[in-house]
Every structure is written in C-alpha cells, then in structure tokens.
Amino acid sequence: MYQDRIRHPALLSKLMTAKEAARLIEDGMTVGMSGFTRAGDAKAIPAALAEQARRQPLKITLITGASLGNDSDGLMSEAGLLHRRLPFQSDAVLRRKINDGEIMFIDQHLSETAEQLRSGSLAPVDAAVIEATAITKDGGIVPTMAVGNSASFAQQARQIIIELNLSAPLALEGLHDIYLPASRSVREPIPLTSPEQRIGAQAIHVDPARIAAIVITDSPDSHSSVLPPDRETAAIAGHIIDFLKAEVHAGRMGQELLPLQAGIGTIANAVLQGLIGSPFKGLTMFSEVLQDSAIALLDSGQLEFASASSITLSAAMHEKFMRHIADYRSRIVLRPQEISNHPEIVRRLGIIALNTALEFDIYGNVNSTHVDGTRMMNGIGGSGDFARNGQLSLFVSKSVAKGGGISSVVPMATHVDHTEHDVDVLVTEWGLADLRGLAPRERAPLIIERCAHPNYRPQLRAYFAQACREGGHTPHLLMQAFAWHARYQAEGTMFMS
C-alpha cells in the first residue's frame, strides 16, 4: 500500500507509529512542522505529541508555515505542549492562550521565518515533521498540498519525521518547485522572472540518514471555511473591478493585469470570484494561498497560471481538484513560502496585492491583527510581504462590524501593521479610495467619503476638522484618537448618539 511511496529501500526500516515517532521530540526542542493555512499539515504527530505532553513534561517551540488544520493547534495548546509559536495561527484555543499571555507568539512576515532561521536570528530547528506524498529513490521528500517552510526545516533539522499521507494522490508529484536562496555571503539573484517559471527541484532533497521516522497516515486536509460572497463582498469586488478597468484604460497595465495576490479569507475569495466574467484575460496569480476562487478562475479560462505555497479548498472543490489533478498540475506550482512571498520577486513582478484589514484609519494606516490594539486575531501573515513590494497594494474590509457597532474606518488605527507608506487603495462596500500620490490631509476626506459607513461619516469629519484646526502633517487629537474604541468597550458601539 505504501511501498510505491517509499522508494529509498533503507527507509522502510524507519516505519513506526505516531506515538513512537513523537518520542523523538524532547522537552525544550524547536520543532518545524509542515502546514500552511490548513493544508499539507502533519496530522498524526501533533495529536501524539499532545497526548505525550499530558503524561510528561513536554514544552516545545513550534514553527510552521502558517496555520494548521485538524484542530492541531487547539489540541497542542490545550495539552500545554506549546511554549512558543510562530509565525502565524488561526485557532480559537491557541488565540485565547496567546492573549492570556500563556503562549509566546511571534507574529512574522511569512517570507522572513526561513531567512531568520538561516541567519541564526532564531534558534535552530531540532526536529522537522513533514507531511509527504512520497519519498523518492534518492531521498527526496515530495510535499502534499503545501510547501510552506518545509524545505527550510528539512534542510536544517537534525532529525526529520515524515508523515506519509496515503490520501494524497501520487499525481501531486510535479506540482512543487523547491528552490531556496543560499546563505547571504554567497547568494545569487533568484532567477524567477514570471509566475509559471520553475527554478528548482520537484522534491525536498535531504540526506536520507537524517530521516528518523516515517509514519503512515491517511486523513485529508481540513476543508477551508470561507463563506460564500454576500452583498457587501460582491460590492467590494465590483469597486475593485471598476478600478482595474480604469487602470487598463489609463495604460498602466494590459488586459492581463499584473500577477494577482489575494490574502486568505472570505473577502479576498469573493473578490477573485468577482473576476469571473470580467473582461480581464490571460491572468496570472503570484500568491501565497490558492482558495476555491483561484480554481474557479482557472476553470473559467481567465486565469492562465497560479503560483503559490499552498492550496486550501472546500470539500466540493477539493474533490474536483483531485479528480483533475493532472490538468491543474500543468497550471499551478507550489513553492516554498520564502519564494512565494519573497520581496525580490514581488518587487520584480509588480504584484496587485489584495489583503484584508481589520480596521484602517483616515490616513491609510492599516491594522490587520490586533483588536483594540491589544488582542491578537491571527497574525500579519504574508500581507506585508506583498503590500510593501507590490505595484498596487489594496486593503479591503466591510465598513462596519458587530451589527454596525464597530466602524472599520477609525480616526487612528489602534495597531499598525501596514503604514500609510505601503497602502495604495482602500475599499469597502461603499467605495474605493485611491491614495496614490496623496498627502495625509488629502487622503482623509477621500477615505471618509468613499469608504466609511454613512452613519460614521459625520463623526469622522468632525474629528478630522478639529484635528486640522490644531495643525500638523497628519492631524490627530491624541486624547480623542481612541475614544471610539473606548466607547465601544463601555457602550457596545462606536456610534456617538
């Protein structure tokens, strides 16, 4: 059953149960696990480690690609296994423990974790746990539905534990392109100049002697949980399509636009969905995660090629994808997240970057991560890699949340993940504000009138007018800047009645 997937004969002796393999992980270790946005994550070892941590002292630093599926982060958090976690997460239990100060979370640009490991800025990975489709004759690890940081972990770890997932079709071989930059003193330019180009190997090559265990699994990835488009997300998509049409009309790009990046989540998914039937043709994606909408765009024929680090799909789309994998494989490539998000490549290609904001302020500073500047949601993810270096950086949000009690457009962002320097366009269901080439005092009226919910516009206008009377390049009233958030905490609404 698995013999055709372990093609290096000596490795057959490394087969063991998840429980046995988990014993290779010792208290205090740094563990690098595959998995990027609920795709390609190890399924058995996290549960076995959680079980082990309930019986004996076991605390680890866990580094992944991004978020894990299968409630693994929740299980490991509840078991007290996680001391330190990076670079991204999206689990409710883990989130609570991070916000309670029980688990130390390091929120990183997703392109940078591998670089920091390579340079020694982070402690080295002791053990790598990597989900694989197969192991080639020469010890090459073929990933599953995500590459993430797996190649960096495998390159660096003293011991490697493989989860060989029998539910991953062998036809995934050839989907991946494994290339990592060399250490800095001898680094050459990354030769990638277009989304479809392949510059590396089909598998992660390691010395087979470092493969310490192989565990057989057969659970599929967790399905993605994005919601279908609604009236607001459809309106956001409409504003963006109109804007892109105008860019084409102005001669700033062709009908094929520029390579698209879309962040994870419902809004970004809806925006891409909205491109189906638009006049744009010959599109490409250079993104970190492909969701249902990317596959639908490939099916529509408008998207020609998609480069990413991971694919996370709904149950129905997953079934379809696997049925036609050989076809999709010729139009998709999965890369290490260091490459899918690399500033060098993003700047070279000139991406259109679409990411989601939690809130943004009247001057264009974006908060992607912290409720009330204090409580972590998920993490910055790759949004900064793309927003800083792309040609066009768009941030989208619904204008209000909690039934209108929270305005996403605020006087001052309570936490800044993306500064005004890195934000070109803001979009809500009400409209789009093109901030390019504008000073803060020009940005504010545009953001208020185009993006804010009409209920909140008078309050925003009043804040801006009073702040302008006090003066400044970016006029603010420091003691009133967060009064809206305080009002929400006290009264359950930011609205001043």
Catalytic residue set: 288
34: Cβ–Cβ under 8 A, 6 or more apart, which residues? Answer: 40, 41, 42, 64, 65, 129, 130, 131, 143, 144, 146, 148, 149, 150, 153
Q: Which of 162, 349, 423, 446 binds a copy of itself (CB under 8 A)?
A: 349
Asked if 174 is part of the footprint of a copy of itself (rule: CB under 8 A), the reply reads no
Task: Give least dist CB 383 to a copy of itself, A.
Answer: 10
468 binds a copy of itself (CB under 8 A): yes
149: annotated binding-site residue? no
Q: What ranges in 250-351 are assigned the alpha helix state H?
A: 266-274, 292-300, 315-323, 325-329, 337-340, 343-349
* Footprint on residues 128-147 left by a copy of itself (CB under 8 A): none
Query: What's the DSSP call for residue 171?
Result: G
342 Rama sector, left if φ>0, alpha if ψ -120 to 50, beta otherwise: beta
CA distances from 168 to 213, 220, 355, 395 (A): 19, 7, 30, 35
Among 5, 43, 335, 485, binds a copy of itself (CB under 8 A): 485
Nearer to a copy of itself, 453 or 485 (CB): 485
Q: Is 107 in the site for a copy of itself (CB under 8 A)?
A: yes
Task: Report CA 268 to chain centroid distance, whole Å.
Answer: 12
| 344 part of the interface to a copy of itself, by CB under 8 A | yes
Q: Which is nearer to a copy of itself, 267 or 412 (CB)?
A: 412
Half-sphere exposure of 194 (CA within 13 A, CB side): 6
Least gap, CB of 84 to a copy of itself (angstroms): 7
Given 412, 423, 447, 494, the residue binding a copy of itself (CB under 8 A): 412
416 contributes a contact to a copy of itself by CB under 8 A: yes
Among 51, 238, 482, 493, binds a copy of itself (CB under 8 A): 482
Residue 206's identity, in one-letter code, is V
Q: Please, what is the minimum distance in Å from the beta carbon of residue 157 to a copy of itself?
A: 17
Q: Which of 191, 130, 137, 182 is nearest to 161 (CA)?
A: 130
Residue 160 or 412: the one with the smaller Cβ distance to a copy of itself is 412
Contact 140, 202 (CB under 8 A): yes
Residue 196 within binding range of a copy of itself, rule CB under 8 A: no
Please, which residues bridge with residue 306 across strands?
285, 332
Report 239-258 residues binding a copy of itself (CB under 8 A): 250-252, 258
d(CA 342, CA 95): 27
Total residues contacting a copy of itself by CB under 8 A comes to 82
Which position among 100, 207, 249, 403 is part of the footprint of a copy of itself (CB under 8 A)? 100
**Per rule CB under 8 A, is residue 93 in the interface with a copy of itself?**
no
Residue (170 or 486) nearer to a copy of itself, CB: 486
Interaction of residue 380 with a copy of itself, rule CB under 8 A? yes
Which residues, other chains included, contact 411 with Cβ-Cβ below 8 Å and sequence gap of 6+?
A: 361, 362, 460, 463, 464, 467, 476, 477, 480, 481, 482, 484
Element (H, E) at 99: helix 92-99
Site for a copy of itself in 35-64 (CB under 8 A): none
CB nearer a copy of itself, residue 33 or residue 114:
114
Take residue 200 and report the two structure tokens written for it.
């590396």
**193 near a copy of itself, rule: CB under 8 A:** yes
Does 335 engage in binding with a copy of itself (CB under 8 A)?
no
Please list, in sequence order, all residues whose beta carbon lies within 8 angstroms of the beta carbon of residue 264, skipping any fewer than 6 positions away. 37, 288, 289, 291, 312, 381
The letter for the amino acid at 107 is D
Instruction: Give 3-state DSSP helix, strand, coil % of the chain, rounded to 5.
Output: 35, 20, 45
Q: Which of 167, 197, 225, 374 binds a copy of itself (CB under 8 A)?
A: 374
The span of 112-120, 131-139, 165-173, 453-461 binding a copy of itself (CB under 8 A) equals 112-120
The residue within the footprint of a copy of itself, chosen from 41, 131, 292, 417 (CB under 8 A), is 417
Q: Which stretch binds a copy of itself (CB under 8 A): 171-179, 181-189, 197-205, 314-322?
A: 181-189
Rounded-to-integer distance, Cα 57 and Cα 439, Å: 55
To the question of whether residue 382 is assigned a binding role by annotation, the answer is yes
Tell which one of 120, 231, 249, 403 touches a copy of itself (CB under 8 A): 120
- Beta-bridge partner residues of 392: 352
Asked if 404 is part of the footprint of a copy of itself (rule: CB under 8 A), the reply reads no
Please pick, from the candidates 202, 255, 300, 419, the single residue that binds a copy of itself as defined by CB under 8 A. Answer: 419
Instruction: State both tokens at 202.
Output: 């089909």
Q: What is the chain's length? A: 497
Neighbours of 12 (CB within 10 A): 13
Given the complex with a copy of itself, which of 40 and 200 has the nearer CB atom?
A: 200
Positions 312 through 331 that interact with a copy of itself (CB under 8 A): none
Asked whether position 191 contacts a copy of itself by CB under 8 A, the answer is yes
- Binding site as annotated, residues for CoA: 378, 382, 402
In the annotated binding site, the residues are: 378, 382, 402
